[in-house]
Amino acid sequence: MAHDLVIVANRLPVDRVTDRDGKTTWRASPGGLVSAIEPVMRAHDGVWVGWSGGSEQRLKPFKVNGLQLVPLALSAEEVEEHYEGFSNGTLWPLYHDLVAKPEFHREWWDSYVKVNRRFAEKTAELAAKGATVWVHDYQLQLVPQMLRELRPDLRIGFYLHIPFPPAELFQQLPWRRQILEGLLGADLVGFQLPGAAQNFIRLVRQRVGHKTHRDLVYLPDGRTVRAAAFPISIDAAGFEELARSEAVTERAAAIRDALGNPSKIFLGIDRLDYTKGIYARLRAFGELISDGDLTVDDAVFVQVAVPSRERVEHYRNLRDDIDRLVGRLNGDLGRIGTPAISYLHTSYPREEMAALYRAADIMVVTPYRDGMNLVAKEYVACRIEEDGALVLSEFAGAADELRQAWLVNPYDMNGMKAALLEAHQAEPKELTRRMKAMRKQIAQHDVKAWADSFMTELAEDGQHSKSVLPATRS
Ligand code: GDG
């Protein structure tokens, strides 16, 4: 069946689970992308193409919670080279300010091209004539161009969820030109922040040699490509409703109880990723206690680290480092029944996340670089009493909107300690003033507004190029 909307993303928004009788079913999985796209899919009755997470070759399209999903298979070698290799060992660190050293391997690149082609071919099969296709994220940057070659009738949008680096870093990539040309297959290329769109336009001008003006690229065949910022957001009303529910309210109180009712609870929730700055924030907190600025009765730090990319070496090392640090801090600073840090290496259902957000007095989000960071926005949405403090890295995209947070530079240990302490000691009036302003921002700019603005611009661009220019390559 042909579809008018095709969402293309590396992963399907589900995980495969095998029950006790050996029967396999699919379960909706957590993650930034899923939280954002699901409402769009439902509204447009779209189909989602993505990797199933396994290597099984013959999976049929299926439905989960009413979402139509088309699984693509990756071989074990492709998982290693396309996903763990080029996507997460090359692009992820390169696009996050070289927080870790990217590795460049030609066989990883070959696999990246091959997998991108498979996604493009499957999408070309599924899309109806003139359909809209929305391609997501760094794993699939070649799909727009490959798809346009197969199906010039489609409207193609691309959205990058992670930062797009400045030219000085991007140009290290041996395949920089191919990536830029891949993205230029789209009609609209969306980024989290205006600076990322500007980085892209500048690189296209310098490296590919196309004419550009403001947010437009003029291609030799007469087509124009727009690059613009669409800061992603959350289902703010949905989170608020969840936070208000009786079950979540009770659970939040039970969490405080279980922690021994300390006067203040600090909270971090992140995928266990080296970009998120988990190690540095725990160190800062530990130092506040060892310096005597805080005591374990004043404060406990709850850190949820969601398992992620566990087969990639950097991630395994990070886990070991954090395990050691938490062990050392609790050994040095804790008392029987009163650890300094309550560390959980696991993932939770949405209700538990909301309860944690409600239970926490100070949310600590300190990435070295982050496209947006939805956790910061979710915390704000759940603070229905208009209290609670957000300590937020200025290098998270969310810092552009959440100006009333305690903004910190995560590389500055003393600055981070000072901000944690200030947030801990802030007067209720000050907390409310800041939280009110942030809640207003999130309520007015939710995920629906984000998706609508991207889709509207994608459709309008079409009218624009059609009215101004004759159709090309039909
Ligand atoms: C990438 C970019 C950008 C996490 N643990 C659980 C869980 N989550 C949900 C959170 C939140 C999402 O996952 C995480 O999103 P973030 O934005 O914080 O970070 P990334 O995963 O790195 O996302 C990021 C995002 O894409 C969207 O464009 O903001 O910059 O790096 O929604 O709630 N959800 C549940 N259980 C968990 O244990 N249910």
- Per-residue pLDDT at 465 exceeds 50: no
Residue to mutate (ligand 1; options 97, 270, 373, 395; most atoms within 8 A of CB): 373
User: Long-range pairs for 313-317 at CB < 8 Å and ≥24 separation?
Assistant: 314/89, 314/93, 314/100, 314/274, 315/272, 315/273, 315/274
- Using pLDDT thresholds of 50, 70 and 90, give the confidence band for residue 33: low
Query: Burial level of 306, CB count in 10 A (0-12/13-18/19+)?
Result: middle
- Which atom of ligand 1 is the closest one to the Cα of 347? 38
Place of tokens 């995980």: 15
pTM of the predicted structure, to 2 decimals:
0.94
CA 211 – ligand 1 centroid, Å: 36
CA 217 – ligand 1 centroid, Å: 31
CA 374 – ligand 1 centroid, Å: 6
What values do phi and psi take at 305, rounded to 5?
-115, 110
- Per-residue pLDDT at 263 exceeds 70: yes
- Which atom of ligand 1 is the closest one to the Cα of 276? 22
What's the rounded Cα separation, in Å, for the pair 35 and 368?
Answer: 23
pLDDT at residue 346, as a whole number: 93
Cβ–Cβ < 8 Å for 341, 329: yes
- Using pLDDT thresholds of 50, 70 and 90, give the confidence band for residue 441: very high
Domains of the chain from N-terminus onward: 3-232+450-463 (3.40.50.2000), 236-444 (3.40.50.2000)
What's the rounded Cα separation, in Å, for the pair 364 and 350?
Answer: 19
> Mind listing the pLDDT tens digit for each residue in 77-104?
999 999 999 999 999 999 999 999 999 9
58-62, 235-239, 253-257, 337-341, range with the lowest pLDDT: 58-62
- Which atom of ligand 1 is the closest one to the Cα of 397? 30
State the virtual CA torsion across 346, 159, 205, 468 in degrees, nearest 10: 180
Mean pLDDT of the chain: 92
C-alpha distances out from residue 44 to 55, 136, 244, 318, Å: 30, 17, 29, 40
Report the alpha-carbon angle 73-27-243, nearest 5: 135
Assigned token pair, 177? 């030109």
- Per-residue pLDDT at 410 exceeds 80: yes
pLDDT at residue 460, as a whole number: 86
- Per-residue pLDDT at 411 exceeds 70: yes
Report the alpha-carbon angle 210-211-215, nearest 5: 105
Query: What is the DSSP code string of 342-399?
Result: EEE-S---HHHHHHHHHH-SEEEE--SSBS--HHHHHHHHH-TTS--EEEEETTBGGG
Assigned token pair, 224? 């124009």
Pairing of strands 341-344, 299-306: parallel
> Mind listing the pLDDT tens digit for each residue in 297-334?
889 999 999 988 888 888 999 999 999 999 999 999 99
Neighbour tally for 229: CB within 10 Å = 16
CA 371 – ligand 1 centroid, Å: 11
Instruction: Take atom 36 of ligand 1 and give the residue whose Cα is closest.
Output: 348
pLDDT at residue 30, as a whole number: 57
Rounded mean pLDDT of 199-203? 98
Place of tokens 């991108």: 116
Assigned token pair, 474? 């039909």
pLDDT at residue 24, as a whole number: 78
pLDDT at residue 23, as a whole number: 79
> Mind listing the pLDDT tens digit for each residue in 134-155?
999 999 999 999 999 999 999 9
> Mind listing the pLDDT tens digit for each residue in 327-366?
999 999 999 989 999 999 998 999 999 999 999 999 999 9
CA 77 – ligand 1 centroid, Å: 27
- Per-residue pLDDT at 471 exceeds 50: no
- Using pLDDT thresholds of 50, 70 and 90, give the confidence band for residue 469: very low
Neighbour tally for 61: CB within 10 Å = 13
